Amino acid sequence: MIEVRNFETLGRFDNDWLSARYHFSFAGYDDPARRGIGPLLVWNDDTIRPGTGFGAHGHRDMEIITYIRRGAITHEDHLGNRGRTAAGDVQVMSAGTGIRHAEFNKEDEETELYQIWIEPSEKNLKPRWEQRRFPKAERGGALVALASGRAGDEAALTIHQDAAILGATLLAGQSVTHHLDHGRRAYLVAARGAIEVNGIAVGARDGLAITDEPEIAIAAREDSEILLADLP
């Protein structure tokens, strides 16, 4: 079964510095039909104005993956970590027993990012933060694990859950297939471009909730960038 969540139907929040779209219930947006898929609880599509961002705030017991679509984000936390993550790259924060951090767009352009929250397989872990470059050329025409807790994904950033976030860039006409093991689910987002998933047309920034599909066949109708969460 594949449920298409068109970008226009997502939850939304807008103020003078942030434009956010919510694939799942979050903050003031509550939809009983969209309250996560397994351990995947949050998938936010954020656009942050230059010189603004999220001031210091806390999290705990959550794996938070940030994927930069355009621009860059600068992270600081109470553990002393500080770093700038640019477009196409990924940062992971294991909130664990508790972490306070801030994220700002210190660029001269808008920053566009996905923030993805996954429940960890255990609580009260040691908090940590890390980032890694994932050049788009190295994931051209193939799905590459960006953040994962699965065996065999050692090149990915580590998360504490039997789940993975994979990314691919596809030229128009290219295709890729992802196998889902029995009982597993997926959530797929077209970060840009236009694709078909098992024959279903998907536009830029649309989401797909996928269950009971042993294979996910993705074909690019134009140059595209995709993210896929493989979930228990």
Q: Are residues 95 and 159 in the same domain?
A: no
Q: Are residues 52 and 124 in the same domain?
A: yes
Residues 128 and 14 in one domain: yes
Residue 4 lies in a domain: no
Return the H-helix or E-strand segment holding 125. none
**Number of independent structural domains in the chain:** 2
Cα 164 to Cα 118: distance, rounded to the nearest angstrom: 10
Instruction: Note whether 192 and 145 are same-domain residues.
Output: yes
**Residues 158 and 79 placed together within one structural domain of the fold:** no
Two tokens, residue 74: 């600068």
Q: Which of 82, 98, 133 is the last residue of a domain?
A: 133
Centroid of chain to Cα 91: 10
Q: Are residues 108 and 157 in the same domain?
A: no
Q: Are residues 169 and 99 in the same domain?
A: no
Residue 118 and residue 82 share a domain: yes
Q: Name the residue range of residue 221's domain.
A: 137-231
Q: How far apart are CA 232 and CA 162, in angstroms?
A: 7
Ordered per-residue pLDDT tens for the chain, 232 residues: 999 999 999 999 999 999 999 999 999 999 999 999 999 999 999 999 999 999 999 999 999 999 999 999 999 999 999 999 999 899 999 999 999 999 999 999 999 999 999 999 999 999 999 999 998 777 889 999 999 999 999 999 999 999 999 999 999 999 999 999 999 999 999 999 999 999 999 999 999 999 999 999 999 999 999 999 999 9
Domain assignment present for 153 = yes
* Residue 77 resides in a domain: yes
| Strand order from edge to edge, sheet including 157-158 | 2-5, 207-210, 185-192, 224-231, 164-170, 144-148, 157-158
What phi, psi does 165 have (nearest 5°)? Answer: -105, 120
Q: What is the pTM of this model?
A: 0.96
Within a domain: 165: yes
In a domain, 207, yes or no: yes
Q: Classify residue 2: in a domain, yes or no.
A: no
